[in-house]
Structure 1
């Protein structure tokens, strides 16, 4: 059965559709027809993401592509579907959820031996899991997700990718009337912790086994050789999650909605909602103003990741059959997270070979404490520290802070540590580890406001800069400065 829409077109000749998730059966998803989006237009396209599919965005000049990536026409070979999952939201069991506005078009490989990627349209219309929602996404949130996905990839942080945004004059009603948009997302898989929770909670252990075997076979085949493949899988997910969250913390990234249904089984950052790259460093920072209890505050993200892994472990317990092995697998997070975090922070401090843990922790904790006391701009400070490593000019750092005496003393101890180790800080490493540009909220907001007036120049300029965040971009030097004072009043919620 073809999905409804305006028509169909042959797939690119080098594409091979696999649609492996669809093969799991109707208990896992619902087939959903395409729901055309009126008068679609291009907002932005990622050349880097397009290359993953063997595509060149400069070839997308005719209207066929904008209709394909808005859900108006279909490629031969795709099978649009929405998957069902459940999950814990803000620590409370939320019951059945599912893809309420995302359509998985299918899975594509560009060569017989290439890894395949799922193509998903977010904002594509209602599904059986939309509940009271309209299934659409607004331009505002779509721009944020698109830019964040590509920015995180450029920072070296595991993430889903964003191929493009298409917009439409079609009205969408949130707190105020807005216009619709669709983000085309790419990932090896969009399977979440919540998929496992759904089947386990409902006692559907056959489906739980089928899903687990599917993930083992396609994404963790090495775990199948372990004495307990499911426990091995859980341990690997714990490791990947630890690595991901450690990198979040190293760049000052707050996710904002770390519900179990927003946790990827592949350890990818997924579902960019009220996220924020911190401006002033505040470990207790809450980026989502809907998070009234501060559950997902910046400093709590590692603990929440562990809590979410406990939920995943509980879901997999019927297959593992032993609580001790389950806890042991989850507890790999407890050793993996500090190891990944300290390795990332050692690079930010210019150590090409991490020093002994205790001296590193002492210097790092002292520095973070000083930064927190006056909420020094997180991105600017680390970049300035790299400048100091290159030039020896302490002023580069001291100009960023008020407590000059405290930071001057820290710089002295920093120098002494490197002298003790017989090496100076690796300035080149620091340049490649401490980004000059991140997606600050106020920049995203300015780009959104321009886009809402059909000016997409800033969105695309931000994409260019954020795709090379460690480089110099003289024309956009102002975007590397601390956020203006008015930006502190910006508030973000889950509304999108």
Structure 2
């Protein structure tokens, strides 16, 4: 097995990370290998599915060219600043480039204690590791920027959480692992040289054209703001709730990262929360845009020394930049939901139409995904499921009047809506059932779920059971981190 490493992060100064190898495990076994991802990266799946590949995925062997390290970062966790977090159970093995020249990190999660572990065991257990695999693949198929999993291995060792659990290691692939919290780490230490070095690194790796900008660090902040505005709008469009939007879980690349207690809504309500640790709803569905802006304020504050030598002037520059987030988010949000409602043109009442349908969903306790999908069938002229009344039925005449002001044909509109409204999402009860079965050794439900999630826009006969909302006894009330 050969990996052509070129490790740019490892060439940064030593205080950006701690160099160490993963902690070996007793009895590794390959559980999942993401063949499609391997091929897209230019890797040979048959070479990965070998004893040598297993040893690398488990952390038992450091491949040639790798320079393993644990990254340093800080973060605001539920609004409270922690000046040192870092990779407490993860190792960045190194970086490779795919055939298109895009650089990716290879990252082991659950690979043992590091200097940043803060008393933790540095390990992960199989359930949450498989959950990250499943949700990452679902997000990718849905067109959402995301990290993905290349492999899952069990360790042959127990980990201790609320009970004894089987240990596992996830091999994560990402365009980068620099977070808002990475900038906060150096800003908190007033290490302006390191802050500049980090910003220069991010620009060179992810936004090289910005190096020619008149104010490259402001341009970097602006680029991150734009990526986050687009990402959060996409999250809301599929009913996704991250669950732990701490600043150490916000990637500079605009990828969704760190799938812990995340979930997809069944019944729509803007205040929906699943995360067991989000006791006050800070990261509820509808709060995610506001929290993204809050996190971006933290990034802007960290960048102040680079924006201008005059502190007051730097603050004004940062504030002006952050103030663009909400208009940019709203523009992205309108584009996402126009497509979901089949609104082909931009008109003044678009926001009112969107808000009206969402309010009707909440009033009728309607399923988010299925209701948008069904609306596409109404647009095609098929029978409405809402003929018996209710808030959605009362909203439909206004929507039809809005559509009458456009020239698109019903077939054209319905086709667009099918491309904007998935038939299948990773419903919480389906995910939980598949993970529980896999932990017990039965991988048939997990494999079936992954096959369906790979084509979320299609409605095939085998997909039908996966579109159904949970029965009352199947409802998942809470999701968990697994740490």
- TM-score per shorter chain, which class? over 0.9
For the residues of structure 1 that align with 2:455 and 2:46, how far apart are their CA atoms?
20
> Does 1:467 find its partner at 2:454?
yes
For each residue in 1:101-125, what CA deviation from the matched residue of structure 2 results, as whole angstroms up to 9, or x when unmatched? 11100001245x6112110011111
SS state of the match for residue 164, structure 1? strand
For the residues of structure 2 that align with 1:339 and 1:45, how far apart are their CA atoms?
38
> Which residue in 2 is equivalent to 1:194?
181
Alignment counterpart, residue 345 of structure 2, candidates 354, 373, 377: 354
> Does 1:411 find its partner at 2:401?
no
**Does 484-493 or 31-40 show the bigger shift?**
484-493
- Which residues of 2 match residues 335-374 of structure 1 at below 5 A? 335-351=327-343, 353-356=344-347, 358-374=348-364
- Number of aligned pairs? 476
- TM-aligned CA deviation for residue 53 of structure 1: 1.7
For each residue in 1:226-256, what CA deviation from the matched residue of structure 2 results, as whole angstroms up to 9, or x when unmatched? 2211111101100100000000011110000
Alignment counterpart, residue 80 of structure 1, candidates 57, 68, 71: 68
For the residues of structure 1 that align with 2:408 and 2:49, how far apart are their CA atoms?
53
- TM-aligned CA deviation for residue 405 of structure 1: 4.1
Q: Is the 8 A contact 1:87 1:194 kept in 2?
A: yes
For the residues of structure 2 that align with 1:115 and 1:123, how far apart are their CA atoms?
26
For the residues of structure 2 that align with 1:380 and 1:206, how far apart are their CA atoms?
52
For the residues of structure 1 that align with 2:58 and 2:398, how far apart are their CA atoms?
56
For each residue in 1:310-355, what CA deviation from the matched residue of structure 2 results, as whole angstroms up to 9, or x when unmatched? 000000001112111111222221221001000010111123x332
For the residues of structure 1 that align with 2:164 and 2:67, how far apart are their CA atoms?
32
For each residue in 1:260-302, what CA deviation from the matched residue of structure 2 results, as whole angstroms up to 9, or x when unmatched? 0000011111000000100100101111121111111111100
Q: Which runs of 4+ in 1 moved over 6 A?
A: none
- TM-aligned CA deviation for residue 51 of structure 1: 2.2
For the residues of structure 2 that align with 1:459 and 1:153, how far apart are their CA atoms?
17
For the residues of structure 2 that align with 1:282 and 1:124, how far apart are their CA atoms?
38
> Which residue in 2 is equivalent to 1:330?
322
Q: Is the 8 A contact 1:101 1:127 kept in 2?
A: yes
- Which residues of 2 match residues 390-405 of structure 1 at below 5 A? 390-395=380-385, 398=386, 404-405=389-390
- Which residues of 2 match residues 202-221 of structure 1 at below 5 A? 202-221=189-208
> Which residue in 2 is equivalent to 1:51?
39
- Distance change in 2, residues 1:487/1:94 (3 Å): farther
Q: Is the 8 A contact 2:125 2:482 kept in 1?
A: no
- TM-aligned CA deviation for residue 41 of structure 1: 1.7
- Which residues of 2 match residues 245-260 of structure 1 at below 5 A? 245-260=232-247
> Which residue in 2 is equivalent to 1:478?
465
> Which residue in 2 is equivalent to 1:16?
4
For the residues of structure 2 that align with 1:448 and 1:326, how far apart are their CA atoms?
44
For the residues of structure 2 that align with 1:225 and 1:461, how far apart are their CA atoms?
49
For the residues of structure 2 that align with 1:269 and 1:379, how far apart are their CA atoms?
20
> Does 1:67 find its partner at 2:59?
no
> Does 1:177 find its partner at 2:164?
yes
SS state of the match for residue 371, structure 2? helix
- Which residues of 2 match residues 107-146 of structure 1 at below 5 A? 107-111=95-99, 114-146=101-133
SS state of the match for residue 107, structure 1? strand
- Which residues of 2 match residues 219-238 of structure 1 at below 5 A? 219-238=206-225
For the residues of structure 1 that align with 2:283 and 2:271, how far apart are their CA atoms?
9
For the residues of structure 2 that align with 1:216 and 1:433, how far apart are their CA atoms?
32
Give ranges in structure 1 of 5+ residues lacking alignment: 1-9
For the residues of structure 1 that align with 2:422 and 2:103, how far apart are their CA atoms?
30
> Which residue in 1 is equivalent to 2:290?
303
- TM-aligned CA deviation for residue 472 of structure 1: 2.5
**TM-score with structure 2 length normalisation?**
0.95
- TM-aligned CA deviation for residue 423 of structure 1: 2.5
**Does 61-70 or 292-301 show the bigger shift?**
61-70
Q: Is the 8 A contact 1:465 1:473 kept in 2?
A: no
For the residues of structure 2 that align with 1:391 and 1:91, how far apart are their CA atoms?
48
> Which residue in 1 is equivalent to 2:21?
33
**Does 322-331 or 415-424 show the bigger shift?**
415-424
- TM-aligned CA deviation for residue 390 of structure 1: 2.5
**TM-score with structure 1 length normalisation?**
0.93
- TM-aligned CA deviation for residue 137 of structure 1: 0.7
Q: Is the 8 A contact 1:234 1:329 kept in 2?
A: yes
For the residues of structure 1 that align with 2:15 and 2:324, how far apart are their CA atoms?
32
SS state of the match for residue 315, structure 1? helix
For the residues of structure 2 that align with 1:38 and 1:374, how far apart are their CA atoms?
53
> Which residue in 2 is equivalent to 1:5?
none
